[in-house]
Amino acid sequence: MTYETRMAWQNRLLLVPALVLLGCFILIPAVTAIYLSFTNDALSGYAASHPQLVGLKNYLRLFSDQGFWNSLIVTLAFVFGSSIVGQFVFGLAAALALRRPIALRPLFNAAILLPNAVPEVVAGFIWISMLAGGRYSTLSRIVGLIGVAPQNWLESAPLLMIIVVNTWRGIAFAMILMTSGLSAVPAEVYEAARMDGATARQIFWHITLPLLRPTIFLYMLVSTAGTIAIFGLIYTLTRGGPGGATEIIGIYIYNQSFVAYQLGYGSAVAVIMLAVSVALGAVYVRVLKVRV
Amino acid sequence: MTVLRAGVGLIACAAAAAVLISCSGSGTGSRAGADSAASTPTIRIAEHRQPRIDALNKAIPKIEKQLGVVIEVIEYPAPEKDYLSKLLTELGAGNAPDLFTANFDSDVPDMVSAGYLAPMTAEVKAWDGYPQLFDVAKKLSTSADGQIYALDSMLLVQQLYFRRDLLDKAGISTAQPASWKDLLDRAREIKAKTGKYGLLLPAGISWGPGAFNEGFILFAPGSKTPQIVNRDGTLNLNGQGVRDIFRLYKSLIDEELMPVNPLLGPEPWVIPKYVMFPAGDLMATTCGTWCYIYDWGKDSKNPVPDVTKNVGTWAVPGMDGGLSVSISGSNIWAVNAKSAHVDLTKKVLLALCSVEATVAYAGLVGNIPARRDAADNKDFQALTELVPVLRDVDKGTFERSTPGFSVVSEGVARATEALLRKQTDAAGAQAILVKYVKDLLGDNAVK
């Protein structure tokens, strides 16, 4: 056995623990979910003890299910609003602002990072006190000072509110990633641009953004996948209501599987969502020609 | 070579750790086995919501002493639906507690079909408390195959509750409505004279099984489809009665006689029942005896003063006349078919259906013991809100359930959700229900 072959085997050996864990906790559950999606398995009733293969029935039902399409649209709006727009814009702005030598910078850093340190459910309850309760809610009291009528924000603008909450929670992650991307941009490039008379706006659009592109798309990929998978925050805040207005796909899968007890159908939705996530990932990585 | 040594070392350490863990595990296991053989058996009971846990804890010491067991209470999530989801998941996985309750009669047939429940017909019929059970409790506890798999230790007695004090003040009649039209007219009069909501029927997906068990089902006996289970076990969901019930919902929603927005949010019962009704913003609602204790009575955080005087009850009128009071099961105790101590658990179950235990539940939760002799118990006699209700239990009506009822319950929740969101009419709601049930149970399940 040559040295190279031996090294190759050693390297493969080192991967074994990770592969075993991935197999046990990712691969086997995923394959099981795909299998379940072709059955009528349930948590209760005759199908719980005698699940049967039903072919594509769950998938056919899914495509005519208004609730599924509603949750898909809500998910896309939620991902676009909170992850692609909200977190990214504020995260980039925070990263750019905190590069400058400003007073109390560590304090600002900590303030932006804090929401990420709070568990999802706790964050949900904090925001319930902000948004729910009509005239007693913190937000109603604040906007009441400028004459806005008190309301239950989770009923009057539920989707907007969960987008705001998730934006608040995710700015830190975007900021950290953008900061690392910005630190990789050579200082000489900025110096040369300034010497050529470029304005701050021109520097941002023609140097900073293009050089940040790989970081931005890495962020988009990770953030989109993470936002699609969010559950605890929305479950605590609205449970998908009112009337399905915030029923993102994770909540919809939970409702089908553990509220309506239809494990087979819930698995079919999960499989479709997996396909959507993979497709979105492929769009980021391939269509935009960024190597991540 | 360094990498190789590091890799081999890592694997060797992992293997050694695995061996150590497995040795220590087996050692502990054998010791535990030896210990458990010599020690008192432990029965694990699933319970949820603090008043129920308190009631259970009151009953436990006597049962432990009487049967020589250790009882461990495992606290489950409070909302009924979350409780049931967790319980069913564990029953499916084979690691559920030995003893637990089903929330509603509609849950039991499907748990039986799934093979989760141990049959206990012989034990229940030989039990000295059996002759004391109300006939309705016996019927509700008996499955379609004639076997008993779960025992209704308490009864939900449900009808319409209204704010007598506020209606009197507004000059609105508090006489018993004679028909659905009467009921609607009363709600309209309330809206016109006070601007308040006239009647709440639980509805929507967020309310979970309550949309069916605390709303829809109360109106079935007085409809043209009084039983939705046919003699052959199929479901009569295409009947005119089902459509008429949805029409009643539709009228209340479209005419803004019942609150809609709170029903679309999480925990939809909180605002209408715990806030609006005590505040007088909602004048009537379906409810059960627990409302006199828990929702607006002595244990409420927002009580209605002098509740039995200021809150009156109406029987549920039929569509064209006739009255009914709905009786259904509560605290429906069942034994896990995979329990390691099935026989002993059945004894604990029967002890939990004793007069003392059921009265403890009545006092803290507000439901009615399923046995006649509870009326003689001093603690029960102190519950003056419940005494007359127990006396009249035999006059109530009940709905037969069948496998697939949990699907019907979810289908009604979805149909009423569509009504709440004004997406459909009564016929459309019925079509949603029928389609959902057929999708899951097959075309032959519905007639």
Q: How many CB atoms within 10 Å of residue A140?
A: 20
CATH code, residues B42-155+328-393: 3.40.190.10
Name the token pair of A245: 């207005």
CB B258 within 8 A of CB B174: no
The confidence score (pLDDT) of residue B21 equals 39
Distance CA B84, CA A46 (A): 17
The answer as to CATH 3.90.180.10 being correct for domain A66-287 is no
Extract the tokens encoding B267. Answer: 């925990």
Nearest CA in chain B to A254: B85
Closest alpha carbon to A283 in A203, A235, A209, A221: A221
DSSP string, A206-245: IIIHHHHHHHHHHHHHHHHHHHHT--HHHHHHTTT-STTT
Q: Which residue of B110, B264, B439 is in closest CB contact with A44?
A: B110
Tokens 């949010």, residue located: B265
Q: Which residues of A touch B11 (CB under 8 A)?
A: 13
- Report pLDDT digits (tens) over B104-149: 888 899 999 999 999 999 999 999 999 999 999 999 999 988 999 9
Q: Which residue has the tokens 């605290």?
A: B331
Size of interface A-B (CB pairs under 8 A): 89
The pTM score is: 0.80
The share of chain B scoring above pLDDT 90, in percent, equals: 72
Is some CB atom of chain B closer than 8 A to the CB atom of A64?
Answer: no
Q: Give the closest of A43, A238, A243 to B89, CB-based.
A: A43
Record: contact B113-A46, CB cut-off 8 A: yes
Query: What percent of chain A lies above the pLDDT cut of 90?
Result: 52
Q: Which residues of B touch A255 (CB under 8 A)?
A: 205
Residue of chain A whose Cα is closest to the Cα of B204: A243
Residues in chain B where the model's pLDDT stays below 70: 1-38
Per-residue pLDDT at B6: 43
Could you count the other beta carbons within 10 Å of the beta carbon of residue A121?
13
- B92:A48 CB<8 A: yes
Distance CA B298, CA B288 (A): 15
CB contact under 8 A, B206 and A239: yes
- Answer yes or no: do B115 and A14 touch at CB < 8 A: no
pLDDT at B296: 94
Residues of A within 8 A of B10 (CB-CB) are: 14
Question: How much is the ipTM here?
Answer: 0.79
Nearest CA in chain A to B439: A61
Using the Cβ of A6 and the Cβ atoms of chain B, whether some distance falls under 8 Å is answered with yes
List the one residue out of A220, A209, A177, A218 whose CA is nearest residue A83. Answer: A220
Q: What is the pLDDT of residue B26?
A: 38
Q: Is A288 exposed, middle or buried, given 0-12, 13-18 or 19+ CB atoms closer than 10 A?
A: middle
Residue B355's identity, in one-letter code, is V
> Hey, which residues 22-41 in chain A have their CB within 8 Å of chain B?
40
State the pairing for strand pair B70-76/B42-48.
parallel
pLDDT for residue A290: 55
**Closest CB to A10 among B4, B113, B417:** B4
Q: Identify the sign of the CA torsion A224, A226, A229, A233.
A: negative
Q: How far is CA A83 from CA A40, A202, B308, in A?
A: 35, 26, 53
**Minimal Cα distance from B421: which residue of A?**
A243
Q: What are the sequence ranges of the domains in chain B?
A: 42-155+328-393, 157-327+401-445
Chain A residue nearest residue B270, CA to CA = A133
Interface residues from chain B to A (CB-CB < 8 Å) = 3-4, 7, 10-11, 14, 81, 85, 88-89, 92, 107, 110-111, 113-116, 204-206, 208, 261, 264-266, 403-404, 406-407, 410, 417, 420-421, 439-440
A227 touching B, CB under 8 A?
no
Fold of B157-327+401-445: D-Maltodextrin-Binding Protein; domain 2 (3.40.190)
So what's the pLDDT on residue A244?
Answer: 82
CB contact under 8 A, A44 and B111: yes
Structure tokens at B150: 């779960």
| Integer Cα distance of B196 and B283 in angstroms | 7
Nearest to A61 among B208, B407, B439 (CB): B439
| Contact of A153 with A161, CB cutoff 8 Å | yes
Q: What is the DSSP string of B2-22?
A: HHHHHHHHHHHHHHHHHHHHH
Q: What is the pLDDT of residue B395?
A: 87
Alpha helices in B231-317 (DSSP H): 240-254, 261-264, 277-279, 290, 307-310
What one-character-per-residue DSSP string does B57-114 give?
Answer: HHHHHHHHHHHT-EEEEEEE-SSHHHHHHHHHHHHHHT---SEEEESSGGGHHHHHHT
CA dihedral sign, ordered B45, B49, B50, B55: negative
Q: What is the pLDDT of residue A289?
A: 67
pLDDT digit string (tens) for chain A, length 292 residues: 789 899 999 999 999 999 999 999 999 999 999 999 999 999 998 899 999 999 999 999 988 888 899 999 999 999 999 998 999 999 999 999 888 877 787 888 888 888 888 888 899 888 988 887 677 788 988 998 998 888 888 888 899 999 999 999 999 999 999 999 998 888 899 999 999 999 989 999 999 999 998 899 889 988 998 999 899 999 988 888 777 889 999 999 998 898 888 999 999 999 999 998 888 888 877 766 655 4
Direct distance between the N- and C-terminal alpha carbons of chain B, in angstroms, rounded to an integer: 75
Question: What part of A 150-179 touches B (C-beta under 8 Å)?
Answer: 152, 154-155
Sort out which chain B residues have CB atoms less than 8 A from A40's CB and list them: 440
With a pLDDT cut of 70, the percent of chain B lying above it is 91
Helix (H) or strand (E) holding B434: helix B426-441
Contacts of A260 in chain B (CB under 8 A): 410
- Confidence at residue B430, expressed as pLDDT on a 0 to 100 scale: 96
CA B144 – CA B299 distance, rounded (Å)? 38
Closest residue in B to A134 (Cα) is B271
- A155 with B261: Cβ contact below 8 A: yes
Q: Quick one: pLDDT at residue B117? A: 96
